[in-house]
Chain A
Amino acid sequence: MNLASTLRAAMLFLILVLLHYTLRPLLGWRAPMDFLVLALLLSAIRVRPAAGALIGLALGLVSDSLTPDALGAGAAAMTVVGYLASWLKAVFFADNIALNAFFFFLGKWIFDVIYFVVENRIGGIELVQQLLLWSPLSAAATAVAGMVLILVMRPLLEPART
């Protein structure tokens, strides 16, 4: 990955982080899109799995700092998602946009599953409802947002060819 590609990826990462802290609270949906997961996924496919895990750890700690009671849950979930995204980059990120959307959907859903399990705040029916209803909805919204991003910012989204 050359310097220009790295700068583009950093810029995209920054934009997504900003969107996460501006557009997401502005919309205030019950099943919100997760721009941090998108940033993690789009970053992780450009780096090795270990780096993806570290990026996930950092992003997770950042997101957890606003919910101190769940500190570490988001970090653990993003670590795993970052690692898996980097590991599965050869599978995904073909030129098939639907596959990319499924990649985003799956990444967000896995994140939610790990997050809510590790957080251990809700359980029982409420956890099932969260994981089978609200998390898929949120993952779908994230996937839609990711598809829009891919269409709009395709020049910035060229993955590194290794």
Chain B
Amino acid sequence: MARAVRAGNSRIDLIILGGAALLALVARGLPPNLRDPVASSMRTTFLAPLVMLQERAEASRRSLLLDDARTAIRDSVSLRAMTVASLENENDRLRQLIGLGARLKWGFIPGEAIHGRGVRDVTTMTVTSGSNAGVRRLSPVISPEGVVGMVSTVDPTMSEAMIWTHPDFRVSAMSEDGAAFGIVQAHLASATTGYLMELRGIPFRSSLKPGSLIVSSGLGGVWPRGIPVGTVLKEVKTAEGWARTYLLKPAVSPADVGAVMILRTDRVTKSFENVWTSVAAAEAAAQRIVVSGDSAAKSAALAEAAARRAALDTTRRVIVPSPIPGGLPPELMPDTLLNEEAGLPLDTSAAAVARREAIRRAAARRDSLRRDSLERQAPRPSPTRGN
């Protein structure tokens, strides 16, 4: 009996096995257009959680496999990112230097500045150009921003330059409009003020406003005229009563000096017209014009009219001008040319004729200076003048 039951069960098992195997083979033989919907319906219904688990697991495995590579890439990118800022800065400086070279056109020797010691106490630097390249002693070293220093010693392939922070460095400088001349040197009063300059020897009657651009004057023969030196920060009170001293913000920070140009001696004596374009100066000039507007011309006209009226009044009162000892020279006295307009009798002596001619020339020069100063207030590409 039991054997019969087992035989029956085995037969049933075999039948079910055959049916299941047949079903599997039928599924295997399904055409693709029927097979895919069946598989897809299973994946999107009750197998969806398992499919999602498998996707997550495979994604995790890929992440694990790529982790080292990603870490290496991330580290490389981070390392490169650290140098991006300095590269951009260097790129900007090189672009400026290329622009300066294009404006100079000739007579310069490019070089790379190598700082020897710490950034804060640098007074000299090595430049990677020497006498083989044409560098001579006392050759000016400049950057796109302005004065850097001058060559002190020259080797065939290298040269040593004295930066403007050196205590012995001097450059003859002037205000942008040429109204005040002085000597610029490093400001050594306090170590806490950083790198600053001093403009010494400005005549007491000349006053410079903060922000005024100071350029090299061209006097002395080492530095050409018109290279930016710095901008006025404030006046420094000194014991000297006959001259003013101003504190300058240097055009070139010694720590930022990288690529430089050394001017050849034959280039120093030539024109530097339109070489330095100071965007800041142009903006300042434009701002001044906007602020003053037409009032500048109006006030100038009013001042001139008032001066003429005062001169006429003086001429009527004073028949014969007598020079005052220690006072203004005759050509700067109120306009005595108006004697003719006033119908006064003219002195026809030779001395009087010569004096009238001198007065006429002085008046013409004054008018020319006034006209130049008005032109300089307009935004021009170059704030400097050539020699």
B27 within 8 A of A: yes
Number of A-B contacts (CB under 8 A): 110
Point out the residue from B10, B29, B32, B42 that lies within 8 Å of A72, measured CB to CB: B29
- Asked if A53 meets B17 with Cβ closer than 8 Å, knowing A61-B42, A73-B28, the reply is yes
What chain B residues lie within 8 Å of A68 (beta carbons)? 32, 35-36, 38-40
Which of B54-62, B97-105, B349-357 is the contact stretch? B54-62
Interface-central residue, A57, A70, A118, by most chain B CB under 10 Å:
A57
Cα distance, A118 to B21, chains bound together (Å): 11
Q: Answer yes or no: B370 CB below 8 A from chain A CBs.
A: no
In the assembled complex, which residues on chain B have CB atoms less than 8 Å from the CB atom of A70? 28
Tell me whether A57 and B23 are in contact (CB under 8 A): yes
Residues of chain B with a CB closer than 8 A to A18's CB? 50, 53
**Which residue from A23, A50, A65 sits with its C-beta under 8 Å from B13?**
A50
B30 touching A79, Cβ below 8 Å: no
Residues on B with C-beta less than 8 A from A56 are 20
Closest B residue to A118 by beta carbon equals B28
Write out the residue numbers on chain B whose beta carbons fall within 8 Å of the beta carbon of A57. 20, 23-24
Docked CA distance A18–B57 (Å) = 11
Query: Is B207 engaged at the interface, CB distance under 8 Å to the other chain?
Result: no
Report how many residues on chain B are interfacial, defined by Cβ distance under 8 Å: 35
Tell me if B51 and A66 are in contact (CB < 8 A).
yes
B328 at the interface (CB under 8 A from A): no
Across the interface, which residues of A come within 8 angstroms of B30, CB to CB?
A: 71-72
In contact, A26 and B60 (Cβ under 8 angstroms): yes
Asked whether A50 and B12 contact (CB < 8 A) given A62-B47, A72-B27, A76-B24, the answer is yes
A53 surroundings in chain B (CB, below 8 A) = 13, 16-17, 20-21
Question: Could you tell me if B39 and A25 are in contact, using CB atoms closer than 8 angstroms?
Answer: no
A60 to B39, CA, bound (A): 12
A14 CA to B23 CA, complexed, in Å:
24
Minimal Cβ-Cβ distance residue in B for A80: B21
* 0 or 1 for each of A69-105: is its CB under 8 Å from B? (1 = yes): 1111101100110010001000000000000000000
B26 at the A/B interface (Cβ < 8 Å)?
yes
Residue B25 interfacial (CB < 8 Å): yes
CB-CB under 8 A from A72, the residues of chain B are 24-30
B43-A79 in contact (CB<8A): no
How far is the CB of A36 from the nearest CB of chain B, in Å? 11
Contact of A71 among B39, B60, B61 (CB under 8 A): B39
Instruction: Tell me which of B20, B38, B58 contacts A54 (CB under 8 A).
Output: B20
- Counting CB contacts under 8 A, is A17 at the interface? yes
Complex contacts, B36 vs chain A, CB 8 Å: 68
6 A-B pairs within 8 Å (CB atoms) are namely A21-B54, A21-B57, A25-B57, A57-B24, A62-B47, A76-B24
5 closest A-B pairs (Cβ-Cβ)? A72-B28, A72-B27, A75-B24, A76-B24, A50-B16
Binding site for B on A (CB under 8 A): 17-18, 21-28, 48-50, 53-54, 56-57, 60-62, 64-66, 68-73, 75-76, 79-80, 83, 87, 118-119
